[in-house]
């Protein structure tokens, strides 16, 4: 019974490690596909919302519109050179449509209860950037029941923000081009971890599975003798 229990435990551990390795391989392939899309799509620029394809992610887009400064959004916990700050986002009105634009990083004041002084840009403006999906990172903090603007958020939930602003926001964010005159410090990156790291992690999981199988074989052979 001891040997059977050991074998079953070893098999379960090995299957878990192999699954983790396969998951890392799948993540690496996703990152490669994303890098490929970024490389080819970002080189193509669109100049109106009506001309965008059904899947507009990672294409370049140039718009003319006006910001609604009442609904400033501050994406929390953004680090630049060791300093805590926010990403500043404003809704941009383009004819009858609304697009949330990420202007970039702004430093946070020393005290948490204070908010930074936000730049405002009035009149019709030209904004270029890359179309990106909103942040998908999970958060344990529930949305505040009290809506105050500027609003400090942990993730960009466009459905919720659209309801709070009472504006029909597009289901993506326009990440402003660093060369745009309105851009703040740019720290946004579409690929946080490249595919090579996922491949390295996959190799580690597979090696661990091989080591455990070797040790298990050695132990079984030793106990049989």
- The per-residue pLDDT for range 5-35, each reduced to its tens digit, is 777 788 888 888 888 888 888 877 777 777 7
Q: Mind listing the pLDDT tens digit for each residue in 201-213? A: 788 888 888 888 8
pLDDT(140) > 50: no
Q: Mind listing the pLDDT tens digit for each residue in 66-83? A: 999 999 999 999 999 999
Q: Is the pTM of this model over 0.85?
A: no
As a whole number, mean pLDDT of residues 141-152 equals: 74
pLDDT(136) > 70: no
Question: Parallel, antiparallel, or unpaired: how do β-strands 73-80 and 83-94 relate?
Answer: antiparallel
Decide if 72 contacts 149 (C-beta within 8 A).
yes
């Amino acid at each position: 019974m001891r040997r059977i229990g050991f074998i079953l435990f070893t098999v379960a551990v090995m299957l878990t490690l192999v699954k983790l390795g396969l998951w890392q391989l799948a993540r690496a392939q996703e990152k490669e596909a994303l890098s490929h899309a970024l490389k080819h799509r970002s080189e193509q620029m669109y100049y109106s919302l009506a001309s965008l394809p059904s899947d507009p992610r990672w294409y370049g887009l140039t718009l003319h519109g006006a910001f609604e400064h009442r609904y400033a959004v501050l994406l929390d916990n953004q680090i630049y050179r060791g300093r805590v700050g926010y990403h500043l986002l404003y809704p941009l009105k383009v004819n009858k449509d609304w697009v949330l634009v990420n202007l970039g990083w702004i430093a946070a004041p020393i005290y948490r209860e204070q908010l930074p002084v936000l730049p405002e840009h009035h009149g019709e403006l030209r904004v270029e950037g890359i179309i990106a999906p909103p942040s998908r990172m999970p958060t344990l903090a529930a949305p505040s029941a009290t809506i105050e603007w500027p609003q400090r958020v942990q993730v960009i939930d466009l459905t919720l923000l659209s309801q709070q602003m009472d504006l029909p926001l597009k289901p993506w964010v326009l990440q402003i081009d660093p060369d745009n005159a309105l851009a703040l410090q740019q720290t946004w990156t579409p690929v946080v971890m490249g595919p090579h790291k996922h491949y390295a992690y996959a190799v580690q999981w597979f090696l661990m599975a091989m080591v455990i199988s070797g040790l298990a074989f050695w132990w079984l052979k030793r106990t049989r003798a």
